[in-house]
Amino acid sequence: MPDQELQSSTETEKLENLAKKIKAWGESLGFQQVAIVEPDLSQASQRLNKWLADGFQGSMQWMGEHGDKRYVVDKLVDHTLRVISVRMDYLADNKMIAVLKNNNKAYISRYALGRDYHKLIRKRLAELVKRIEDELPEMQLSQRPFVDSAPVMEKPLAEQAGLGWIGKNSLLLNKDAGSWFFLGEIYTSLRLPADQAEQPDRCGNCRACLKVCPTDAFPEPYVLDARKCISYLTIENKDAIPEELRPLMGNRVFGCDDCQIICPWNRFASQTKEDDFTPRHNLDDSDLTTLFTWSPEEFLSNTEGSPIRRIGHERWMRNLAVGLGNASGSEDILKVLEARAQHPSPLVQEHVAWAIALQQKKLLTQPVIDNPDTKPE
């Protein structure tokens, strides 16, 4: 019995030391936070199933697939006992409000301005998995990294790990870092010591994110109706954007950050240390007309390695047409739209026709401004 206790004590100490190493390795790989959780997703699964029953997932039917693999972790990866949850900051821009206020500019969600985070973070997590395995060559480990790429409840897991709390905008908030960050996970069969640092909900009476939402996509705090969310409408939605929601989208052509921009906790967000998240092709400050004139080949070239590419050129044009319809009345914009009126895609045609009608109406009703350089005869 004493030998068993000694063996157990030695094993515990070994795992505690390994947990410290994992966090140090994670930091060296560019993660701002690494934490370990013994997952319990029972409550999160109840919230998810109610959300699905309410139909708030829209066309994202995959959210209800995979059975209970989404919240019973060892059914997704055999023998999983712990989840290593990581955070990586991505904010690399401070022009957000200025771009949103200029309705001739294209607003693209800040996470999508640089390189696709899936590739970058997955590579770093794979390296972390390798270091763990190299540390324990005698053990047959079951480990698998994830980056928003499988039925993983990353926000509830990160919340339990102490990386933050899920706010009223349904995003994970951190008191020291706001919400401008990506999450990643490693499912592992190692019985690592779990962190006991769960952050309390610090939203209090604040309702700023709920009030600022352009399409009123929050039926209640902590609940998002994806069908009305601009991120869903411009990225996940493959069909026509509901006409009643188009005027509310403004110049947001890929995603939406309003509920993050307004959040008081994002005053504490830090700029990213990753060069790969730096904006490419001037996407943080581009005119709607410039992006709308990209050919399919230019779209593929300019979005290489970018998360924007996944929506394809057709939906890119659909989104930009809505933005151009919402822009200030302009003969130049009208000409650009009319040049695409016979686009081969019926989806694009329909949104361009809507935008043309809106631009024509604006040009008819807006006041004529005299050119101050014109001298009376």
- Assess whether pLDDT exceeds 60 at residue 7: no
Comparing 2 with 277, the larger pLDDT belongs to 277
Indicate the residue among 134, 153, 188 that finishes a domain. Answer: 188
Percent of the chain with pLDDT over 70: 95
Considering the domain architecture, whether residues 180 and 212 belong to the same structural domain is answered as no
pLDDT in tens, 198-247: 889 999 999 999 999 999 999 999 999 999 999 999 999 999 999 999 99
Comparing 17 with 93, the larger pLDDT belongs to 17
Q: What is the pLDDT of residue 367?
A: 66
- Assess whether pLDDT exceeds 60 at residue 159: yes
* Residue 194 within a domain: no
* Residue 297 within a domain: yes
Indicate the residue among 155, 188, 221 that finishes a domain. Answer: 188
Considering the domain architecture, whether residues 216 and 268 belong to the same structural domain is answered as yes
Considering the domain architecture, whether residues 175 and 322 belong to the same structural domain is answered as no
Q: Which residues partner with 178 through β-bridges?
A: 174
Indicate the residue among 188, 223, 247 that finishes a domain. Answer: 188
- Assess whether pLDDT exceeds 80 at residue 125: yes
Q: What are the φ and ψ backbone dihedral angles of 216, each rounded to 5 degrees?
A: 55, 55
Q: Which residue, among 186, 117, 131, 120, has the nearest Cα to 158 in the 3D structure?
A: 186
pLDDT in tens, 19-50: 999 999 999 999 999 999 999 999 999 999 99
Comparing 5 with 282, the larger pLDDT belongs to 282
* Residue 104 within a domain: no
Please give the mean pLDDT across all residues of the chain.
93
* Residue 197 within a domain: no
- Assess whether pLDDT exceeds 80 at residue 370: no
In this prediction, residue 65 has a pLDDT band, given cuts at 50, 70 and 90, of: confident
Q: Is 83 helix (H, G, I), strand (E, B) or coil?
A: strand
Q: Which residue, among 106, 77, 273, has the nearest Cα to 187 in the 3D structure?
A: 77
**Rounded-to-integer distance, Cα 376 and Cα 227, Å:** 54
- Assess whether pLDDT exceeds 60 at residue 376: no
Catalytically active residues are: 148
Return all residues near 142 (Cβ < 8 A) that are at least 6 apart: 77, 78, 79, 80, 187, 188, 189
Considering the domain architecture, whether residues 225 and 340 belong to the same structural domain is answered as yes
In this prediction, residue 149 has a pLDDT band, given cuts at 50, 70 and 90, of: confident
* Residue 376 within a domain: no
Rounded average pLDDT over 255-271:
97
* Residue 374 within a domain: no
Comparing 373 with 18, the larger pLDDT belongs to 18
Considering the domain architecture, whether residues 241 and 171 belong to the same structural domain is answered as no
pLDDT in tens, 168-185: 999 999 999 999 999 999
Q: What is the pLDDT of residue 219?
A: 98
In this prediction, residue 66 has a pLDDT band, given cuts at 50, 70 and 90, of: confident
In this prediction, residue 196 has a pLDDT band, given cuts at 50, 70 and 90, of: confident
Considering the domain architecture, whether residues 141 and 234 belong to the same structural domain is answered as no
Considering the domain architecture, whether residues 80 and 155 belong to the same structural domain is answered as yes
- Assess whether pLDDT exceeds 90 at residue 160: yes
**Rounded-to-integer distance, Cα 143 and Cα 77, Å:** 8
Neighbours of 225 (CB within 10 A): 19
Return all residues near 64 (Cβ < 8 A) that are at least 6 apart: 52, 57
pLDDT in tens, 265-290: 999 999 999 999 999 999 999 999 99
Count of the separate structural domains present in the chain: 2
CB 288 within 8 A of CB 251: yes
In this prediction, residue 375 has a pLDDT band, given cuts at 50, 70 and 90, of: very low
Comparing 275 with 372, the larger pLDDT belongs to 275
* Residue 73 within a domain: yes
Angle at CA 169, nearest 5°, toward 264 and 232? Answer: 130
Considering the domain architecture, whether residues 10 and 156 belong to the same structural domain is answered as yes
Considering the domain architecture, whether residues 281 and 323 belong to the same structural domain is answered as yes
pTM of the model: 0.92
Q: What is the pLDDT of residue 366?
A: 74
The DSSP symbol for 151 reads S
Q: What is the pLDDT of residue 67?
A: 84
* Residue 26 within a domain: yes
In this prediction, residue 4 has a pLDDT band, given cuts at 50, 70 and 90, of: very low
Considering the domain architecture, whether residues 180 and 269 belong to the same structural domain is answered as no
pLDDT in tens, 67-107: 899 999 999 999 999 999 999 999 998 889 999 999 999 99
Considering the domain architecture, whether residues 13 and 149 belong to the same structural domain is answered as yes
CB 19 within 8 A of CB 118: no
Considering the domain architecture, whether residues 172 and 221 belong to the same structural domain is answered as no
- Assess whether pLDDT exceeds 70 at residue 373: no
Q: Which domain holds residue 224?
A: 208-365
pLDDT in tens, 301-341: 999 999 999 999 999 999 999 999 999 999 999 999 999 99
- Assess whether pLDDT exceeds 90 at residue 3: no
CB 242 within 8 A of CB 57: no
